[in-house]
Amino acid sequence: MAEHHSNPALFPHGLTPGARLVIYLLASILLLTLDARYHGLFWLRAAANSLIYPLQAIEQIPVSAFGNMSAFFVKQGTLLTENRQLRRQAVRWQLESQQLRSLSAENHHLRALLDLRSKSGLTSHAAEIVGISRNPYQALISLDRGSLSGIQPGSAVIDETGLVGQITSTYPLTSTVTLITDKDQSVPVRVQRTGQNAIMFGTGQGVELRYLPHSTDIRPGDLLVTSGLGGVFPAGLDVARITSIDNRSARAFDIVSCQPLAAIDREQQVLIVDTHPQPR
């Protein structure tokens, strides 16, 4: 009996590739038509989107991280620039505030000097301190008024709170003032409360009364004013206040420490009082 042999390559079974292509195209057109008219593939797309979304989210992590990091550094640089600008602005505002406070204090001081000048009735010249002696053994300052302005040696120098010192030398454009705290300076004073006359001496750092008997009626807080004795200083100028009294019996006299009232080391403007004004 003869055997039956079949060769699939020579005698193919099933649909040809062309027929399969036609079927696939028709199926695709049918699916597109169904989805376009009746949204038949909505749930299929929703399921596919749910499956794909986690993969998309994972893919976006590096991109989002890089974007956030870039934004952080850009924002950090912007904040640092703004911070530097604000610091510079704060420094400028602080400087302007300090200048305004200084001008306000100077204006108040000048108003007080003008008020003192009008009330005292004394002939005086406004002057500004332009120098302070560097010698620790001398209490001297220089003023911007001199002999060309009519300033004479011996004139008293005051501010709105009290006696500053005395003109001891003059030059054409400037003059030198020996402060009441100088060791070589002495001022005839009177205790305003009792009328007791005394001599006040400079100590280099402050002032004190000397040669007062233990029985003298003085107490801390008493105001000392110029007595006018000797004609060196006009009478009635505030000078100092008594701060402490050393009346130990081992000494024959009291030593009375005082605090000058004038702002000797704090102000820039003073008044030069003509002790002997020239007749007109």
pLDDT of residue 280: 40
Per residue in 126-174, pLDDT (tens digit) is: 888 888 888 877 889 999 999 998 899 989 898 888 899 999 999 999 9
In a domain, 10, yes or no: no
Q: Do 166 and 194 lie in a common domain?
A: yes
Same domain, 228 and 150: yes
**Same domain, yes or no, for 74 and 92?**
yes
Structural domain of residue 76, as residue ranges?
A: 48-121
Residues 181 and 255 placed together within one structural domain of the fold: yes
Same domain, yes or no, for 249 and 147?
yes
Q: What percent of the chain has a predicted confidence (pLDDT) above 70? A: 71
Cα distance between residue 67 and residue 47, in whole Å: 30
In a domain, 109, yes or no: yes
Low-confidence ranges of the chain (pLDDT < 70): 1-14, 31, 34-45, 48-49, 53, 56-57, 59, 63, 67, 95-122, 249, 264-267, 275-280
Whether residue 110 is found in the same domain as residue 138: no
Do residues 269 and 113 make contact, with C-beta atoms less than 8 angstroms apart?
yes
Which tokens in the block code for residue 48? 């596919």
Q: Are residues 77 and 188 in the same domain?
A: no
For residue 198, give the CATH number of its domain.
Answer: 2.40.10.340
What pLDDT, on the 0 to 100 scale, is given for residue 260? 93
Domain co-membership, 132 together with 268: yes
Give me the chain's average pLDDT, please.
78
Residue 270 and residue 264 in contact, taking contact as beta carbons nearer than 8 Å: no
Count of structural domains within the chain: 2
